[in-house]
């Protein structure tokens, strides 16, 4: 059994193969199957109002809290393809369901890749047919097959008392860039109701995937599944489940941040000194999305003036004369005025922590993980229909 990933927990098998969707010839289809005895599940999806055909199907599939399998393809998002896209996603779902002997509505569907190209259904059909006989302890192969612009595959494993929770993910943004959609599948052999799973997944997503913000762009295809087989026979408490799902989500989110398109710096932005957590999150996101700030981070430049200029536009309570900024715990701006030595702070390392206090008495606090804006980000995302 795998030591990490989606097939490490008992009750799960997976398969992956090259169907020929990616021009690179790399693996591009995968399936994860829950072999039971339980089939409880939860999922969260993109908040974009333009959603891909597979997201529409997966949203319906999760309604009853039961999922037997999730099928993935990379290299084509099957988004903005009209009714033909809906038909192609449904045919894929029906075909794998028939082969597994389950209902189509028991199968989740995830796609990632270019928007606006029809799925090559001949390749998809052939791929589906070959996936089922190949099912086994292939979590790592599945993690590799769902990659797009990812440079490394992303897997995790969290151990509970007598149960485990594994996972895989791909992508590089806040439910995220259009050609680097975030897809995550978490699996556990714990026994848990759909409600428990939903509670744990929503709580974890809120502080991990939802606060990972590479470029402010949100995909049409983002999906996170959590599947529970109950094969361990152990029922954790809600708190234990929450903790494991949070730990696994944090691990996958960190791996995404580290592999983000063109990243040279991992930047953690924390905002406090404002009225509510939501306001703190607004300000942290505003800063994390500010291109001038992100360029300064790329240049290892402790240019705190850009932090002030960015947060000054945020929808958050603040005292404009009493804002403080710290880079890697060193004060660079106190009461909206430069601190001694601010220009000499060394930001040459790969990790930069930014703490902003907006100067208002209040419990609001939030953290967003982002990256710098580099030459490579522009290069990766300006190549023709990359």
Residue 229 annotated as part of some ligand binding site: no
Smallest Cα–Cα separation from 156: which of 332, 3, 344, 274?
A: 3
Report the sign of the C-alpha dihedral through residues 370, 376, 380, 381, in that order.
Answer: positive
For 132, the token pair is 């089922």
Residue 282 CA, chain-centre distance (Å), reads 19
User: Closest separation between CB of residue 198 and a copy of itself, Å?
Assistant: 24
Pairing relationship of beta strands 351-357 and 364-371 according to DSSP bridges: unpaired
Strand 223-228's sheet: what is its strand order? 40-45, 223-228, 183-188, 164-170, 154-159
Torsion of CA 97, 233, 191, 175, to 10 degrees: -70
Smallest Cα–Cα separation from 149: which of 215, 195, 235?
A: 215
What's the rounded Cα separation, in Å, for the pair 47 and 372? 24
Classify residue 258 as exposed, middle or buried by CB count within 10 Å of its CB (0-12, 13-18, 19+). middle
Active-site residue, selected from the candidate residues 181, 218, 286, 370:
181
Answer whether 120's CB lies under 8 Å from 20's CB: yes
**Cis peptide preceding 37, ω within 30 of 0:** yes
Query: Which residues are at the interface with a copy of itself (CB under 8 A)?
Result: 47-51, 77, 79-82, 85, 114-117, 177-179, 215-220, 289-292, 295-296, 298-301, 303-306, 308-313, 318, 320, 323, 333, 335-338, 342-343, 373-375, 377-379, 381-386
Residue 296 CA, chain-centre distance (Å), reads 25
Instruction: Provide the angle, in degrees to the nearest 10, between the axes of the packed helices 277-288 and 304-311.
Output: 130
User: Closest separation between CB of residue 349 and a copy of itself, Å?
Assistant: 16
Smallest Cα–Cα separation from 78: which of 48, 111, 106, 103?
A: 111
Beta-bridge mates of residue 248: none
Residue 381 annotated as part of some ligand binding site: yes
Residue 261 annotated as part of some ligand binding site: yes
DSSP-assigned letters across all residues of 139-154: HHHHHHHT-SS-SS-E
112 part of the active site: no
What positions carry a catalytic annotation? 181
* Positions at the binding site for substrate: 148, 170, 181, 261, 381, 386
């Amino acid at each position: 059994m795998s030591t990490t990933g989606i097939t490490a927990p008992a009750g799960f098998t997976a398969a992956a193969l090259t169907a020929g969707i990616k021009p690179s010839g790399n693996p591009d289809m995968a399936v994860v199957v829950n072999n039971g005895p339980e089939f409880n599940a939860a999922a969260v999806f993109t908040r974009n109002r333009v959603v891909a055909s597979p997201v529409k199907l997966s949203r319906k599939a999760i309604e009853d809290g039961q999922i037997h399998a999730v099928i993935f393809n990379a290299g084509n998002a099957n988004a903005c393809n009209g009714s033909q896209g809906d038909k192609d996603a449904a045919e894929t779902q029906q075909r794998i369901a028939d082969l597994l002997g389950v209902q189509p509505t028991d199968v989740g569907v995830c796609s990632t890749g270019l928007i606006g190209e029809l799925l090559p259904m001949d390749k998809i059909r052939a791929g589906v047919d070959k996936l089922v006989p190949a099912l086994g302890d292939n979590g790592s192969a599945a993690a590799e097959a769902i990659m797009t612009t990812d440079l490394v595959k992303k897997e995790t494993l969290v151990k509970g008392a007598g149960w485990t929770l594994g996972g895989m993910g791909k992508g590089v943004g806040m439910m995220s860039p259009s050609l680097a959609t975030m897809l995550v599948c978490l699996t556990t052999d714990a026994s848990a109701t759909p409600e428990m799973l939903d509670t744990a997944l929503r709580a974890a997503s809120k502080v991990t995937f939802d606060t990972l913000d590479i470029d402010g762009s949100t995909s049409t295809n983002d999906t996170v599944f959590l599947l529970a087989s109950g094969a361990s026979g152990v029922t954790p408490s809600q708190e234990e489940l929450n903790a494991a799902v949070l730990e696994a989500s944090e691990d996958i989110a960190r791996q995404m941040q580290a592999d983000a398109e063109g990243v040279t710096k991992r930047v953690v932005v924390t905002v406090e000194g404002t009225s509510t957590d939501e306001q703190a999150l607004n300000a942290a996101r505003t800063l994390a999305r500010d291109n001038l700030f992100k360029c300064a981070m790329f240049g290892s430049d402790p240019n705190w003036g850009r932090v002030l200029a960015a947060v000054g536009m945020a929808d958050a309570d603040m005292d404009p004369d009493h804002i403080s900024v710290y880079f890697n715990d060193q004060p660079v701006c106190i009461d909206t005025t430069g601190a001694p030595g601010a220009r000499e702070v060394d930001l040459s390392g790969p990790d930069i922590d930014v703490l902003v206090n907006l100067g208002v008495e209040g419990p609001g606090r939030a953290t967003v993980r982002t990256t710098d804006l580099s030459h490579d980000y522009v290069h990766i995302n300006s190549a023709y229909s990359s």
